[in-house]
C-alpha cells in the first residue's frame, strides 16, 4: 500500500493528468507521468523512507501496466535529486523472474461536485524483491 502521507499526492495526480480513467496506469505512467507529477508533493509530505516506499509501489504499478520506467521516456521513476535527498534508482528483480503480486488500493474522498460518495480502485502489483 502507498504510505498515507503520499496518498493524496497520487490521487491529485491521477485526477489531474488528463487520463480518462483512474485505473488506466498505462496512461498515468506515460502520458500522465504520475511519478514526476506527484514527487514534489510526496517529498514535502513524507519522510524519506515513506517517500521511497510510495515511489516503489507506484513504480511497480507502472511496470505492471507495461510502462518501462528505465527507458528515459515520459515515465521517469526518480524525482529530481536534491542535496538533502540524493537520486535513488528503482530496484530491479535481478533474476528476471516475475515477482509475486500484492494489491495496491487508492481510495478517493468525494469533492463537493461529485455525485458518488467514494471511489476505490484496486490494482495488482508485483511485490518488491
DSSP 61-93: HHHHTT--GGGSSS--SSPPPBTTB---PPPP-
Q: What percentage of the chain exceeds 70 in pLDDT?
A: 53
Query: At which residue does the C-alpha cell 488506466 appear?
Result: 24
- Length of the chain, in residues: 129
Predicted TM-score (pTM) of the model is 0.54
74 appears as a binding residue in the annotation: no
Domain boundaries, the chain: 4-79
d(CA 92, CA 102): 17
Q: Residues 6 or more apart from 47 whose CB is under 8 A from it?
A: 5
Indicate whether 55 pLDDT > 60. Answer: yes
Instruction: Pick 60 or 116 by higher pLDDT.
Output: 60
CB 58 within 8 A of CB 34: yes
Amino acid at each position: 500500500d502507498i504510505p498515507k502521507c503520499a496518498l493524496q499526492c497520487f490521487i491529485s495526480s491521477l485526477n489531474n493528468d488528463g487520463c480518462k480513467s483512474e485505473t488506466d496506469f498505462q496512461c498515468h505512467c506515460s502520458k500522465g507521468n504520475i511519478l514526476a507529477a506527484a514527487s514534489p508533493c510526496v517529498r514535502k509530505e513524507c519522510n524519506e523512507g515513506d517517500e521511497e516506499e510510495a515511489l516503489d509501489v507506484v513504480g511497480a504499478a507502472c511496470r505492471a501496466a507495461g510502462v518501462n520506467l528505465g527507458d528515459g521516456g515520459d515515465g521517469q521513476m526518480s524525482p529530481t535529486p536534491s542535496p538533502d535527498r540524493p537520486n535513488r534508482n528503482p530496484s530491479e528483480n535481478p533474476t528476471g523472474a516475475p515477482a509475486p503480486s500484492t494489491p495496491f488500493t487508492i481510495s478517493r474522498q468525494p469533492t463537493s461536485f461529485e455525485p458518488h460518495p467514494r471511489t476505490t480502485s484496486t490494482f495488482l502489483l508485483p511485490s518488491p524483491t
